[in-house]
Structure 1
Amino acid sequence: MRKDAVHNRERLLRAARRLFADRGLDVPLDEIARSAGVSIGTLYNRFPTRDALVAAVFADRVASVAELAEQALAADDAWDGFVAFLTGASELQAADLGYNDLAARGAAAADRGPALMEEIIGRAQRSGDLRDDVTLADMAFVVWGMAATIRATAKVAPGVWRRHLALALDGLRADAARPLPVPPMTDEQIRAAMREC
């Protein structure tokens, strides 16, 4: 790319990061272009779709979550790794409403994200700390719950998500397990639910 094209791309990314972080993913693209000091045409030349812009803005966050997952798997204690992963991912969400929206939509994981999460779950189950009936599908509810709590409380009680997470973690412990009333959602049901979000 020419020097001015690179400069415009960086200005767009900075503006989108700032606006997404403050208000979430639904910021109008023309507002992002205006904030970056470029035309909407320039935005579309650099990022042909909203998804392309979102992917570029949050590539570093997605990579950070994958790194958190790897650290969780390397932790000496499986439960501590599980908790550290969920806490770290929630901290990233709480710091950026745009990333929080992305996580709520199930699009905040690296390509290996679901496989890494399954490894984290399996490891915590094998250690006897995580209830045996927790599935990857169940973890979607934890992410959705955290995302909704973060969005609802960001301006009035920004740290209350930690309480919500502690309550969720207590419910996930093997020693607190009670029979669940219905089976977990299927992959197809999860995809359908995410489309509705």
Structure 2
Amino acid sequence: MTVEQRPLRADARRNREALVVAAREVFGAKGVDAPLDEIARRAEVAIGTLYNRFPTRADLVEAAFLPTLEEAKAVTEEALALDDPWDGFVLFLERSVLMQVGDRGFTEVCSRAFDPASGLEKAKHGNASRMQRIVARAQEAGALRPDFRLLDLASVFAAATAAPDWRRGLALVLDGLRAAAAHPLP
């Protein structure tokens, strides 16, 4: 049995869990470049304990955000399961904006590139594939403007999350994305 396969002692498991919880809080508020010593303090462990459990920042970011990417996966699957493609597109955007609006760390995880072999990138790639299907379904149904691209989601998220009331901001953006409202883009 290797060290990684061996179950953690109870205190080591508690420390690891406390670090992940603290990382979600600190990264969520300040972004994934937040000071690691602040995370250790919040978890009430020494910085050495943090580095013992998570040798790199990327390891800690992955532990903190893989569960959130799993939630995002569930959102994309729910959107794809809806009969009406436009309703699926709207559900995906509403839930995705809601996940990002109060979580700077998650927003940064979604917009940054990580090691291609990491669990984060693998999860993001799977989510991107489902997002592309959500977009394609809405376009094929004639509900979403045909020139919308997956890369345009960054603009949608930025506009909606920057609005004082994200629901109003997203509603304005959605009206501009309807195929019936489309004018040629530059």
Q: TM-score range by the shorter chain?
A: 0.7 to 0.9
- How far does residue 10 in structure 1 lie from its aligned partner after superposition? 0.8
What is the Cα-based RMSD across aligned positions, in Å?
1.9
Give the corresponding residue for 2:170.
165
The answer (yes or no) to whether the contact 2:86–2:138 under 8 Å persists in 1 is: yes
- What is the alpha-carbon distance in structure 2 between the residues aligned to residue 32 and residue 92 of structure 1? 21
Code of the residue aligned with 2:176 in structure 1: it is: G
How much has 1:2 moved relative to structure 2? 2.1
* Paired amino acid for 1:171: G
Mark the runs of 5 or more structure 2 residues left unpaired by the alignment: 1-7, 115-119
Aligned-residue offset at 1:106: 6.6
Q: What is the CA distance between 1:52 and its match in structure 2?
A: 1.4
Aligned amino acid, residue 124 of structure 2: A
SS in structure 2 opposite 1:111? helix
Per-residue CA distance 1:137-173 (angstroms, 9 max, x = gap): 22232233345x1xxx6xxx4xx11121111111111
Task: Return 5+ residue gaps in structure 1 as ranges.
Answer: 182-197
Output the amino acid matched with 1:176: A
- The number of residue pairs the alignment matches comes to 172
Residue equivalent to 2:157 = 143
Distance 1:102 1:163 in 2: 25
Report the counterpart of residue 45 of structure 2 in structure 1: 38
Q: Secondary structure at the match of 2:124?
A: coil
Q: 1:176 to 1:145 in 2, by over 3 A?
A: same
Instruction: Give the structure-1-normalised TM-score.
Output: 0.79
Counterpart for residue 97 of structure 1: 104
Opposite residue 136 of structure 1, the aligned amino acid is L
Q: Which residue matches 1:176?
A: 181
* Correspondence for 1:10: 17
State the TM-score, normalized to the length of structure 2: 0.84
Cα distance in 1, alignment partners of residues 72 and 183 from structure 2 = 30
Quote how far apart the aligned CAs of 1:102 are: 2.5
State which of 129, 132, 135 in structure 1 corresponds to 2:143: 129
- Is the CA contact (8 Å cut-off) linking 1:131 and 1:175 kept in structure 2? yes
SS of structure 1 residue aligned to 2:143: coil
- What displacement does 1:39 show? 1.4
Match of 1:58 in 2: 65
User: Is residue 30–residue 105 contact of structure 2 (8 Å, CA) maintained in 1?
Assistant: yes
Deviation at 1:96, TM superposition (A): 2.5
Q: 73, 85, 93: which one pairs with 2:92?
A: 85
CA distance in 1, matches of 2:146, 2:25: 41
* 1:105–1:143 distance in 2 versus 1, CA, 3 Å: farther
Q: Residues 160 and 173 of structure 2 are in contact (CA less than 8 Å); yes or no, is this contact kept in structure 1?
A: no
Tell me, in whole angstroms, the C-alpha distance in 2 between the residues paired with 1:140 and 1:18.
24
